[in-house]
Structure 1
Amino acid sequence: MSNNILISNKGPVLSVVVPAYNESVGIEKALTEIISILFSCKVDWEIIVVDDGSKDDTYQKVCRLAQFEPRIKAISLSRNFGKEGAIFAGLEHATGEAVITIDADLQHPPVLIPDLLEKWQQGVQIVHAVKRARSQESMEKKARAYCINKLISGLGGININNSSDYKLLDAEIVDIIIHQLPERERFYRGLTSWLGFKEEYVYFDVDTRQGDKSKWSFLALLELAITALTSFTVLPLRIVTILGITTLVLGITVASEAIWSLFTGQAVSGFATTIICLLIIGSFIMISLGIIGEYIAKIYEEVKQRPLYLMKASVGFDERIAEKSLNSEYKRSAMR
């Protein structure tokens, strides 16, 4: 990289989006490390911390840091909208020619930022940071992540094995995500893989998490997996058809046995067989209704057209821009 600082006439060259939820313990250390790496990159930069409705003083700590470093900006959401909403809020406010999304717990090592930036300067529009090793994670978490990644990759048709939300996106890609992908139920990792364009990968080892334990429970990961599947494939709906065909084959088999027994003068198979068939058919029906229900629920969320986030406060942004961003979701909804 050049020793000269790369400066854009339009704004910062690089925006770093940091979603944060209850990260009071480690947010100052995380931002300090990110800033030290950004200084070494020799580019004009900004950091946008999106406080996703934290119950601690995460936002207040970021605001204090912003008083000493004006390139640190902060957004406080009105409640916890989830990581997907927080990332979208950061992308919508980012003004850089390239945008990096990185977690606030330092499990995404900031030292990788120069590598991401170098790939972008070579013309790559999407740079994915992929987990090479999870040595710092428990066996339970590794197994959980492995199963969910395989489920989404296998059924969803997108490769997210060991992928993360640690990515660099060109401004053109950010614009596409914000303005051309209108869905409300978002899966950031999947969307960036689905887009295509020129992409490359860099690999990292997961670092020790700073602060308290992870916010991701098994149920939260399962909900994320369901969102990913229903967003990128209709294969689960086809499973309903497969279950129906299986039930039909089972019914024909049992009916054939009953008819054969009747014509040969044997006793017709009775209670146990009937109960087993009813249990199997009932299970298939309930599973099918559950799968269909998940898709209907996602349709319901989409048609409501509620904003992905609501912002209650911000620091470091032009007042006009902040007000415009606050109402942008409502304005887009009114124009549809």
Structure 2
Amino acid sequence: MRILIADSYYPGFLADFYRRRPDAEVLTYDAHHAALMSAFFGTGDAYARELRLLGHEAWTVVLNAAPLQHRWAVEHGLTTSGEDNAELFRVFLEQVRLFRPDVVYVQELAAAGEEVWRDVRPLTRLIAGQIACSMPSRRTFAHHGLIVSSWVPIVDHFRACGTPAEFLALGFDFKALESLGPIEKRYDLTFVGGIAPVHEGRRQLLEALCRELPIRVFGYGAESLSPDSPIRARHGGEAWGLGMLRLLAQSRITVNVHGDIVVGGVANETLANNCRLFEATGVGAALVTDAKTNLSDYFEPGREVLTYASVEECVACCRELLRRPDECAALALTGQARTLRDHTYAQRMRDLADLLARYL
């Protein structure tokens, strides 16, 4: 199969990347693309890389990386009049025409409107879309022949609406370990993730941890904290991609707090489903995560990860683990072994390739 993976990155990460790599904009497209993929944001190039190892032709484009898309346009003789969304999508259409994919696999369904996928549809055999977050409103996904999600309620929702949908779990890109290299533990206890107003429950838990334990907090959204929030004194800045993974790897213990995913107006709070489960364990941190009914599908609670069902339980669990460094280290090792054995994108892409072949 020829598979074109269309991704979209957080604007905060892109701003940070181009601030750190001002030279990227003068690089060739291939060098620029390689630099961006080496930042390991989201799934990075893991999908395309692992699909190629399975014998498929696969390529990743980042729809909203304007300097990168502009460089591709220049190298292919395409005149652009700016870097707004319309121009970026025009470049993407040309990429689809050139690559001639059997499948356009869309990692971020909210990245483009229906009119873009309407224009893409005649150029490929299948548009497949992946989503594992609250769904964008006023969208029909009429041009998508398959929806893939790691969130079972989303799969059920689309099937009930008559749209083919399949389950595919999230995973970890083990190649990041090579880029990280040897890591020394610097932090006893961390949280790495968003603390924006939408994560109110998460903020309350983190404030309790900040009052009771020596936790460090990293992530976006700190500017919206109340002036007296105890998180402010523990906040170490935003963290993206490989930098985020390095912080997790430097943590003896890290806390995970799931956000809400709203499907059909209803938020399901009972299921485990976020990337941090696999990122934290994959880089060797001992993970303390909120208890979910399906967590045992991925990890053995009490042996590979520890769980909590309340703020008080989280504080107590972290405090006890800090007192038992040998148990903490053993938990980290068993959690990492499980992720590297069962939850890497090498395994996930075998499953995805089988799914896509069935729908062509």
Q: What TM-score do the two structures reach when normalised by structure 2?
A: 0.29
The structure whose residues are more often helix, as a share, is 1
Greater RCO between the two (CA within 8 Å, min separation 6)?
1
